[in-house]
Amino acid sequence: MDFENVAGDTYYVTYDEFRISDEWGDYHISSLGTFEISDGIIPEWCPANEIFSNETCERTCDDPDTCISPTSRTDTEQCVCVGDYLRHQEQCIPLNQCNCFVADKGGVLREGEFYVNSRCTRRSTCRNNQIIEASLQCSDHATCDERNGVSKCYCNQNYEGDGVMCTHNCFVDTEISVLRVIVVLSGHFKCFAHNSLSI
């Protein structure tokens, strides 16, 4: 078989036996026996799930959103994890095998990061390289919504908090400089301007 690597070097390899993977395996060739290479050129062979490339944007299970290397390409080729494979210790593993993989998200969380499912009923948090699942319920004064790509409980207008606990937001109105007072009537909050309150 004739081969050409990324650098443009060509060589001829004779295999006793070989296997070519399917599309899922990017048509990689695996030797099943002995082989002989012409011109003394020895091509680089990479471990499973890695390819020989000058692309250096490898990601890790611990930080799936950031490239390990500050540059995306180098002058020399090396074995790298690509696509949906992430570096974990010395291996490239599919992203769904990382410890903090969340199936609903289809991705991996970094340490301390959390993900709330689309109905805001479950919160998944990555702690000590493990997913901690917890049930979730929005406050009566909150709405489950997706904003800026983040699903979670958001407090309704005139309420503030984390979405699980929302309290009425009576405050000093800077536009009219009137102190507002909370009055509870039949279990409902009402805000009144101080100068219009009559008891």
- Please tell me whether residues 158 and 185 are part of one structural domain: no
Long-range residue pairs from 83-91, CB within 8 A, at least 24 positions apart, any chain: 85/49, 85/50, 86/58, 86/59, 86/60, 86/61, 87/58, 87/59, 87/60, 87/61, 88/60, 88/61, 91/47, 91/48, 91/49
Cα–Cα distance for residue pair 43/11, rounded to 1 Å: 9
Q: What is the pLDDT of residue 149?
A: 83
Are 98 and 60 in contact, with CB atoms under 8 Å apart? no
Quick one: pLDDT band at residue 184, thresholds 50, 70, 90?
very low
Quick one: pLDDT band at residue 3, thresholds 50, 70, 90?
low
- Please tell me whether residues 174 and 159 are part of one structural domain: no
Q: Give the pLDDT confidence of 99-120 residue by residue, as tens digits.
A: 899 988 888 898 899 999 999 9
Please tell me which residue, 68 or 116, carries the higher pLDDT value: 116
- Please tell me whether residues 106 and 70 are part of one structural domain: no
Q: Which helix (H) or strand (E) holds 21?
A: none
Q: What is the pLDDT of residue 172?
A: 38
- Please tell me whether residues 73 and 89 are part of one structural domain: yes
- Percentage of the chain beyond pLDDT 70 is 61
- Please tell me whether residues 87 and 141 are part of one structural domain: no
Cα-atom radius of gyration of the chain, to the nearest Å? Answer: 29
- Please tell me whether residues 2 and 27 are part of one structural domain: yes
Are 41 and 9 in contact, with CB atoms under 8 Å apart? yes
- Please tell me whether residues 116 and 159 are part of one structural domain: yes
Domain-embedded: residue 134: yes
Q: What is the pLDDT of residue 38?
A: 61
Please tell me which residue, 129 or 125, carries the higher pLDDT value: 125
- Please tell me whether residues 107 and 157 are part of one structural domain: yes
- Please tell me whether residues 10 and 60 are part of one structural domain: no
Domain-embedded: residue 50: no
Please tell me which residue, 46 or 112, carries the higher pLDDT value: 112
- Please tell me whether residues 60 and 24 are part of one structural domain: no
> Is the pLDDT at 129 greater than 90, yes or no?
no
Per-residue tokens: 127: 């702690």
Range of the domain at 35: 1-43
Q: What is the pLDDT of residue 131?
A: 93
Domain-embedded: residue 48: no
- Please tell me whether residues 9 and 39 are part of one structural domain: yes
**Beta bridge pairs of residue 55:** 73
Q: What is the pLDDT of residue 35?
A: 57
- Please tell me whether residues 3 and 19 are part of one structural domain: yes
Domain-embedded: residue 51: no
Total structural domains within the chain = 4
> Is the pLDDT at 24 greater than 80, yes or no?
no
Domain-embedded: residue 114: yes
Average the pLDDT over 126-141 and give the result. 93
